[in-house]
Amino acid sequence: MSNSNLLSYGVTSTLIHQFADISDRQVGHIVRQERQQYQVITAVGVVSAQTSGRFNHHVLDTSDFPVIGDFVGIQLTPTKDAAIIHQELPRNSLFVRQAAGTTHQVQSVAANVDVALICMSLNHDFNPHRLERYLTVCWDSGATPVVVLTKSDLCSDTEAKLAVIAPMTLGVTVLTTTTTTANGLAPLQTFLQAGQTFALLGSSDVGKSILINRLLGKTIITTDGLRNDDKGHHTTTSRELYQLSSGALMIDTPGMRALGLWGADTGLAQNFSDVADLIRHCRFRNCHHQTEPGCAVKAALATGQLTTERGQSYQKLQAENAYSHDTQAYLAQKQRTEVANAKQIRQIYHPKHY
Ligand SMILES: Nc1nc2c(ncn2[C@@H]2O[C@H](COP(=O)(O)OP(=O)(O)OP(=O)(O)O)[C@@H](O)[C@H]2O)c(=O)[nH]1
Ligand SMILES: [Zn+2]
């Protein structure tokens, strides 16, 4: 293992050189993650890694921890079989979602992804509104979305389904795959070029694990075998970055039950650029597109230029996004109060430091 192996794992020579002069520090790439336990590829191979005590001390919430795909500054232990993560390097892209449940916290899913492969199966998982949600979050992450419609063998009306999603996937590549035929993955395979990092995203059971196994040519992830009644179940809990024979890097993420928007303004504007264009023509800047006169959105809905479905979809996601901003503001205020309280307590018990 050497720097050449690091290069093949997406670590640029610039990054390697940046660390050359810092004694005991080097660059690594997170290739496996199970909560805050990491495996990092380094110049000496893959080692287990954890964030340093100092790093943990400065973390405000779990989303500040490194995530799969992150480049990190590390220090190897004297035996060189483990490492301490000291810093997270700037990210090109970050896919985040509002964590499931009631915690109202942001959860980082994957970093430095170039192309996000949004997987949706063509049978019962097919859901255009969910696709709009995924596309919004992908655009917001900084990665380019590509839609992968899986299990085409279980669908008899693929063309009709493609027509349904056509208006929401303008300018987005849409691929269909099946693992039941010899060349059923060919459309995807030709897409997976060296030098790029891909990530598989989607609900549980859409066939992400099987895709990884097929692309790697070996059974890395065990599932209960290919079932044509699509009732198989396998849940991945860890995230992993794989190197494909083409040289492309592929991140597998656990199936997501819910994908909540979290401050995805850019993604909304990009995914709904048609609606955004209309809004620019509303008479009032703060138009709610309800009863206001001169509303371009309402006018477009009346003529059919904008479908009711897409209009409603936008309004739903926009409201959710606005709510996520309120939540963020509330959490930030709560954090400021906690920090201030902690400081006050320290002033009382250790006054000489202040
Ligand atoms: N008929 C058919 N079944 C498929 C295809 N791809 C996957 N399956 C089946 O769908 C089920 C789910 O596949 P997985 O690869 O485990 O799904 P997953 O997306 O990794 O699910 P999680 O690990 O929960 O995120 C399994 O029983 C697969 O055999 C396909 O192209 N056709
Ligand atoms: Zn309006």
Digit-coded pLDDT (tens) for 242-268: 999 899 999 998 877 778 888 889 999
Q: What is the CATH number of the domain that holds 247?
A: 3.40.50.300
Domain boundary residue, one of 194, 217, 252: 252
Q: What is the pLDDT of residues 276-292, one digit of tens each?
A: 999 999 999 999 888 89
104 and 158 assigned to the same domain: yes
Indicate whether 240 and 137 sit together in one domain.
Answer: yes
Same domain, 99 and 190: yes
282 is in an annotated binding site: yes
Instruction: Tell me if 31 is assigned to some domain.
Output: yes
Same domain, 53 and 187: no
Q: Is residue 181 marked as binding? A: no
Residues 6+ apart with CB under 8 A from 111: 66, 67, 68, 69, 70, 91, 92, 93, 94, 95
Of 252, 280, 312, the position where a domain reaches its end is 252
Specify which residues 240 forms β-bridges with.
32, 252
pLDDT at position 233, please? 41
* Residue of 215, 223, 242, 251 to test ligand 1 pocket, by largest number of atoms within 8 Å of CB: 223
| % of the chain residues with pLDDT over 70 | 89
Q: Which of 88, 110, 144 is the last residue of a domain?
A: 88
Q: How confident is the model at residue 230, as a pLDDT?
A: 43
211 CA closest ligand 1 atom index: 15
Residues 124 and 78 in one domain: no
Task: State the pLDDT confidence band at 235, using cuts at 50, 70 and 90.
Answer: very low
Instruction: Please determine, for residue 193, whether its predicted confidence score (pLDDT) is greater than 60.
Output: yes
Residue 353 lies in a domain: no
On whether residue 352 sits in a domain, the answer given is no
Q: What is the pLDDT of residue 350?
A: 64
CB count within 10 Å of CB 188 equals 20
The answer to the question of residue 350 being in a domain is no
Is the confidence at residue 203, as pLDDT, over 80? yes
Check whether 295 is labelled as a binding-site residue: yes
Q: Examine the domain organization and report whether 181 and 279 are in the same domain.
A: no
Same domain, 133 and 221: yes
pLDDT tens string 77-123: 999 999 999 999 999 999 988 866 656 678 889 999 999 999 999 99
Q: Are residues 101 and 248 in the same domain?
A: yes
Pocket of ligand 1 (CB under 6 A): 150-151, 153-154, 178-180, 204-210, 223, 226-228, 230, 232, 234-236, 254-255
Q: What angle do CA 263, 264, 266 make, to 5 degrees?
A: 125
Do 107 and 248 lie in a common domain?
A: yes
- What is the count of structural domains for the chain? 3
Does 226 map to a domain? yes
> Strand, coil or helix: what is 269?
helix
Domain shared by 145 and 227, yes or no: yes
Ligand 1 pocket test, pick from 124, 177, 205, 211 with the greatest ligand atom count within 8 Å of Cβ, gives: 205
Residue 351 binned pLDDT confidence (cut-offs 50, 70, 90) = low
Tell me the residue length of the chain.
354
What CATH number is associated with residue 314? 1.10.40.50
Query: C-alpha angle 133/139/143, rounded to 5°?
Result: 125
Q: Are 321 and 263 in contact (CB under 8 A)?
A: yes
The model carries a pTM of 0.85
Residue 331 pLDDT exceeds 80: no
Q: Tell me if 327 is assigned to a ligand binding site.
A: no
Instruction: Mark whether 116 and 210 lie in a shared domain.
Output: yes
How far does the centroid of ligand 2 lie from the alpha carbon of residue 295, in Å? 4
Range of the domain at 269: 265-344
Instruction: Report the nearest-CA residue for atom 5 of ligand 1.
Output: 151
315-325, pLDDT tens digit by residue? 999 988 888 88
User: What is the chain's mean pLDDT, rounded?
Assistant: 87
